[in-house]
Chains A and B, each alone.
Chain A
């Protein structure tokens, strides 16, 4: 296959390039032999429970949330790395074909841990060229040889001069350089979309900014679309055009970064913003309890057992408490492009932001010593880390 064959008609900036529709991913819990013979089916963990998402050409979209919220699973499903139970993923308006190879050339993933991603016994050149070989590309779009493609990818990722890195091994490089190699490996195929799962959380503080700068520069130079999965809302502030906040397998709020991060509509987003460390932040309210358990998703709004609007009684005053506890709801567009899945925002519209901001004053900051994490959680679940793919065997 020559590279030019892959050059389709290019979408205009802002058009939907990647679309996720009603995505569901369920992990089946393990069952012991005896329990299995007794007919025990084991618990099901609904890691992703109905995600709808449109990624626009040329944007940086951040998907944020606590661990176990399904953000990584969503990213893996987009990459075809995760079997899905229901839902469709569309690229340029078409559902993914059975053969994912042409699609995976255009959508590349950058993982969290560069050391674990790179084969320690391959040279940097081999690592970068591997993608080309898998996709059967031996010549670039302008008939360049492989060596030139590899060296272009390395220098785009900021590893210059590229020839100096060809014969080196991953262990000879620093953490920041290794992450650049991973990015170069993604770039060599000239993708349209990069999905980066916590691309800087394993890196040293001073190196993080550089890697993020690199991603931003690549977006400018190569017209890339970038999806960043992160737990760090501060990071979203520095790079993202739009932010999606996930809770228990759903997107609960999505919109322009300035709107979501400065004028949040969903109480969960507000709670996440409250725990971003900064001077004096420890006196602000902190949600009690562990990240919730995707094997036991509460009825109604899935956030209601921890929701400060419900706990403070404001939901009752507004007359929406019954809805919060009993009626599941989807994302509702409150402001242009800014959607929230919350009964309070559905009831109050854009006013919801002020209400949520005022909740802090309504509930006295709970002294944390009196709120032991498991006693304060209304639905006491198993306190294990909920079912991400790396779930430890808890037996």
Chain B
């Protein structure tokens, strides 16, 4: 059974200039112990989905469809139940660890607070658990007495991870957990998260624009563009053999060193990510697509089957062609 399931989720932000459809019909299933990598550029809706799972969006935002966590409808939860589910059912590691911690409280107290507020343990027990958590994320127990400014960026991110694990959630959402970190520290934190995930059997959603990070950490990838998933499938095959031209462009943005195809040849897409208020007709990617043809302007492609366990929203994949012939017959 899946830990998290999103069905036909539509999310519209309310702004002065009208509704902004950030997510336009997303379906996702995450099984127990599975890591899903959610990739896309800024404005594609990936962080909006993360926030919607724990209902962290502004009150004026319209969320349609269904989000089920451990079999429970998140959108129907009463405030009290919602507060209980945050941290214990699912928790989030945010991007800017440096801004997410309270600068005037010791980090140990901040982790302990998450535990006591959720009545997971009393004061003393919580303190013991904090020490164990810090060791789990590779920090010495004495660091609990430090204030956030006494820690480096990587250490703060480790504290955030410890906090996310404090109430034994079944699901952890990591929203760009390493973007603000240095290359060497990024590798350390990624390895830590992967190890914790494996040891604790966590289900995870890993969100970033860097496909090469996702292919290291995830079992499955879902690529988003203009509020929709445009390709999904097993991580390695999606990265190394993309079916959607956008995925190919995203993968090429992080070339492997030694790959002669990219030597002295940076590859990029023309144009900019679309404005969510003015999504192009047909396939939203067609104005930037190097292989677009006439039909792309008119037909909105659904996620067609594209090989084993894979789907892609492009009229050029095999599945789209079979679908088309069936219609003609």
Contacts and interface: CB of A to CB of B under 8 A. Distances in A.
Contacts of A384: 149, 152
A7 interface: no
B273 A282 contact: no
A86 interface: no
Interface string B152-170: 1111000000000000000
A373 B41 CA distance: 31
Interface string B250-265: 1011111111001111
Contacts of B262: 237-238
A63 to B, nearest CB: 14
Contact of A234 (B42, B236, B257, B272): B257
Given A209-B252, A385-B153, A287 B266 contact: no
Given A216-B264, A262-B258, A272-B183, A282 B192 contact: no
B87 interface: no
A117 B249 CA distance: 28
A371 B140 CA distance: 10
B190 interface: yes
A282 B217 contact: yes
B152 A385 contact: yes
Given A206-B253, A369-B195, A238 B266 contact: yes
A372 B188 CA distance: 10
Interface in A354-383: 367-375, 383
A279 B215 contact: yes
B152 A394 contact: no
A261 interface: yes
A238 B152 CA distance: 31
A271 interface: yes
Interface string B163-190: 0000000000000000000111111101
B239 interface: yes
B194 interface: yes
Contacts of A212: 266, 268
Interface in B25-50: 41-42
Nearest to A241: B264
A312 interface: no
Nearest to A201: B179
Contacts of A275: 183-184, 186-187
Contacts of B258: 237, 261-262
User: DSSP majority for the B interface?
Assistant: helix
Nearest to A392: B149
B230 to A, nearest CB: 13
B253 A208 contact: yes
Nearest to A381: B152
Given A278-B256, A375-B140, A291 B263 contact: no
B249 A206 contact: yes
User: DSSP majority for the A interface?
Assistant: helix
Contacts of A287: 184
B315 to A, nearest CB: 20
A290 B263 contact: no
Contacts of B102: none
A209 B215 contact: no
Interface residues on B, range: 35 or more
Interface in B270-315: 270, 272-273, 288
A2 interface: no
Given A233-B257, A234-B257, A374-B155, A207 B269 contact: yes
A79 interface: no
B66 interface: no
B262 to A, nearest CB: 5
Contact of A277 (B138, B212, B268): B212
Nearest to A283: B191
A394 B136 CA distance: 28
Contact of B190 (A206, A208, A235, A277): A277
A284 to B, nearest CB: 9
B266 to A, nearest CB: 4
Given A205-B41, A282-B187, A373 B254 contact: no
B139 interface: yes
Interface string A52-68: 00000000000000110
A290 B250 CA distance: 29
A234 B256 contact: yes
B268 A213 contact: yes
A31 B288 CA distance: 54
B132 interface: no
A271 B184 CA distance: 8
Task: Choose among A278, A287, A291, A369 the residue with the greatest number of B CB atoms under 10 Å from its CB.
Answer: A278
A115 interface: no
Contacts of B119: none
A231 B210 CA distance: 15
A371 B154 CA distance: 13
Nearest to B150: A383
A366 B131 CA distance: 22
30 contacts: A174-B272, A176-B272, A204-B272, A205-B209, A205-B250, A205-B253, A206-B253, A206-B268, A206-B273, A208-B253, A210-B268, A212-B266, A213-B268, A232-B183, A237-B257, A275-B183, A277-B213, A278-B212, A278-B215, A279-B216, A279-B236, A280-B216, A282-B194, A286-B191, A369-B137, A373-B154, A374-B143, A383-B150, A383-B151, A384-B152
Interface of B: 41-42, 136-140, 143, 149-155, 182-188, 190-192, 194-195, 209-213, 215-217, 236, 239-240, 246, 249-250, 252-259, 262-270, 272-273, 288
Interface of A: 66-67, 174-177, 204-213, 216, 231-235, 237-239, 258, 261-262, 271-282, 286-288, 290-291, 367-375, 383-385, 392, 394
Given A278-B216, A385-B153, 9 more contacts: A204-B273, A209-B252, A216-B264, A238-B267, A275-B187, A276-B212, A276-B256, A282-B190, A372-B138
